Amino acid sequence: MNITTQKTLTLLSPISLGALNLKNRIVMAPLTRNRAGEGLAPTEMNVEYYRQRASAGLIISEGSQIAHEAAGYPFTPGIYTQQQVDGWKKVTDAVHEKGGKIILQLWHCGRVSHSSLLPNEMLPQAPSAIKPAGEVYTYEGMQPYETPHALTIDEITGVIEMYKKAAQNSLDAGFDGVEVHGANGYLLDQFLRDGSNHREDIYGGSLENRSRLLLEVVEAVTKIWGSDRVGVRLSPLQPFNDIKDSNPEATFSYVVKALNQFGLAYLHVTEMGAEAPGVAGPAFDLKILRPLWDGNYMTNSQYDFEKGNAAIQNNEADVISFGKLLISNPDLVERFAANAPLNDFDASTFYGGDERGYIDYPAMSEA
């Protein structure tokens, strides 16, 4: 692509991410909102929430646990029962009726969970029996993290099958694809980092071994969807959930290059954690990852219209995902196009609650 053409691209320009043809480059980031209904299935309120945001080029759903064993928080939706599939089908139908596209984020929380949230009060699952620092939010309030159960090889095989089944359920629910959540200190990220993975078998030690589960999950999911409808999310600098690595630059450089083999729809690298350098391990410039990736590159964190356009025009990213701005501005695309003022967000309503701060933010025409 010549420089002149590149500089004409903006967040409002169309793009194809694999088989996903997007009308713009504004993506709704996966956002935990803790508002699932009975059976941890989406409700009519959730349907309206996603419908309102269908003008985004792509919606990535909130993280949805692939099995009961994968849960980590109250009131987060799953994708492992028929009730949940049926609830999500109403969401995808609503988004498609508005001309939008939506994919589901596949989520396993791993060690950052609590036995009270899991079947038969089992311990959370993890690569190693290392208790994370801090507390977890449960239905009974905040409780200290527990020392997790280190997965056996056979149990890891079972986890991969859970991902595969969840991918099939996502297809049955009418999604346009899936994103594998390999970020933010959850199970796949726990395997990647040497701070949480002390295994001495084929899933621990070397970069090749610590990356093995992520790559096996991606392979399983692409067998259901095809590589061109699958994305992966990584967070190299994010210290959330007490995650850390002795050499994140080496770890994630290896992972990004290893993921190239699949020909994925996109790679989603969040820049969260860059504002707290060194907390998750030695800081490095995330811009080094972009040249290592052969496909479409999505990034996230603290972007607005001007910064997003600049990133695209400088070839630092192909698409930008937005979180808080799309929470508070369901018509963010239209506001960006009109250079209109943006609604402020109410952070107190981010996690849990009712319609307030969820589906009551005014559209531009109502403001």
Separation of alpha carbons 165 and 163, rounded Å: 5
Dump pLDDT digits (tens) for 204-262: 999 999 999 999 999 999 999 999 999 999 999 999 999 999 999 999 999 999 999 99
Residue scoring higher pLDDT (278 or 112): 112
Q: Which of 145, 186, 254, 303 is catalytic?
A: 186
Separation of alpha carbons 243 and 316, rounded Å: 26
Greatest Cα pair distance, the chain, in angstroms, is 60
Tokens 């707290």, located at residue: 276
For 360, residues 6+ apart whose C-beta sits below 8 A from its C-beta are none
CB 157 within 8 A of CB 113: no
pLDDT of res. 1:
38
Overall pTM > 0.85: yes
186 is catalytic: yes
CB 11 within 8 A of CB 320: yes
CATH 3.60.150.10 is held by the domain 3-349: no
Separation of alpha carbons 350 and 31, rounded Å: 9
CB 136 within 8 A of CB 113: yes
So where are the chain's domains? 3-349
pLDDT band for 365, please (50, 70, 90 cuts).
confident
CB 105 within 8 A of CB 191: no
